[in-house]
Structure 1
Amino acid sequence: MSYSNATDFTNPSTFILLGIPGLEAAHVWISIPFCAMYVIALLGNFTILYIVKMEPSLHEPMYYFLCMLAATDMILSTSILPKILSIFWFNSREIAFNACLTQVFLIHCFVTIESGILAAMALDRYVAICHPLRHSTILTKSSVAKIGLAVVLRSSIVILPYPFLLRRWSYCRTNIVSEPYCVHIAVVKLACSDTHISSSYGLFVLFFVLGLDGIFIALTYLQILRAIFSLPTKEARLKTFLTCGSHLCAIAIFYIPTVFSSLIYSFGQNFPLHVHVLIGSMYLLLPPVLNPIIYGVKTKQIWGRLLRLITQK
């Protein structure tokens, strides 16, 4: 099937996903790590959900937030990887216009939800370290559920304009998306209308939603570090700081690739297109794969319950 770079339409019925441009001949080989990542993401996050549900000692705010993170990662990876694998394996590049807009909404909504959950987990660590005696009264099951609902509602409301704005534009240049999935910036580039509203709103979401979450997390950890350094012994400081280790790793694997990908898109015009695509894919795919591994290995309660489960089997 051949794809034209120039078409004559204003409302395309389908878009064409290129996969990884320039590496088409290696798609079958590239599919192996992508498929492995999907399997690991599903199994790892499902295991986290199962262990927390089955272990009464883990019915605490920290693990409730972890379950929210695991569910978010499962949905995020499922909104991306099946279509990527269908491109790699079956050359199934077409995606319906409405399906593309749905994928845009799901990807950006659950990325924003993940950012909000990481901020909520920072709040949990702050209360646990700075106000340990009030932790159970501040973060009750009800308050955790309300925080989770607020994160989901905020993300849904903020991202909902994306598909509605994209539906307004005329697409008279091309229907070829130079990515293996539909994301906001890639679809905006295809429009021949004045898309400054979509571009400006995308920057608003980046800086005033994800950016504010990052600032909140940084300020929270400044207070946590102040509390840690006020502890009397080095052993106590180290032990308390290690309780934040898993969360800090999750923050790093979410925000560092996100910032790096944004910089590449903004200032890396000299990078080959396949480098842009691979880096953009990593910021979406690494958190669902690595989060369950990090929390499974670093959290003794989860690791111990997993070992008991394997031994019983």
Structure 2
Amino acid sequence: AILDGVGDRGLIARAKALAVELDAASVVRRHRKAVSERRVTTRPAPDSMAYLSVLMPVEQAVCLQATLGRDADSLIATGNSGGRTRNQPMVDLLFERGTGASVASGVPAAVNLVLSDETLLAGGHEAAQLHGFGPVPAGIARQLVADAIESDTETSLQRVYSCPHSGALTAMESQSRTFPKSLRKLIDLRDRTCRTPWCDAPIRHHDHIRSRRQHGATSVHNGSGLCEACNYAKEGDGWSARTVHKPCRTHLIDVGTPTGHHYRSAAPPLPVPAHLRAS
């Protein structure tokens, strides 16, 4: 009878309260572990937008939400919202307070945008690639470049050479045993996400395909971008990887698994002008 009219959320709340009463120490331990795993992540959303997710202690999340809502309401009440809805200034305030800038073009951070020269200079329609996000329409890519140039932010254009038909990235060698910053950047631009088939997690490690102990070179051809979990897993028994060389094709890796199966991972192509794709 005490559960009459209790909905799902109410039932869950009662169960949690009972669990706290019965084993408070366990609840405290789990909370401490959860706090140690707080993080910020992003994932793509439609129409060149993105979701920013923050896993944080509930009291901080509630405080942040309330503060943003309060300040957005204040802007609206004083007529300083610029016609924005309540949600819009909340997002804008979050960005300003997190970066110290009112627009993205003023943020002192590296943003890698890969686009063809035709898209940049001749009004081409090929989608650009925003590292860490994915495809960006040509018009938006040009606007991002224009905003950066017009702002006080240090902006640079760096040529990245590729096969004009396939979009395969060209080589860059290094004598170092570890991947230098410039080579890691090139691998990031080429691979975009973890190269293990079907993974697609963000790149965290840059490692040799043919290992150094097997005399593998520290080069873009023998390097791959991997997430942390996949890079550790490939060192286990039964795993193998080799580069498959195919002229004027995007970088290709053959991955062998402990079950004896082999799968191939092809790097995505760089933006290629439409008239070259058609030929």
What TM-score do you get using the length of structure 2 for normalisation? 0.22
Report which structure shows greater RCO (CA 8 Å, sep ≥6): 1
Q: TM-score, normalised by structure 1?
A: 0.20
Bigger helix share: 1
**More strand as a share of residues:** 2
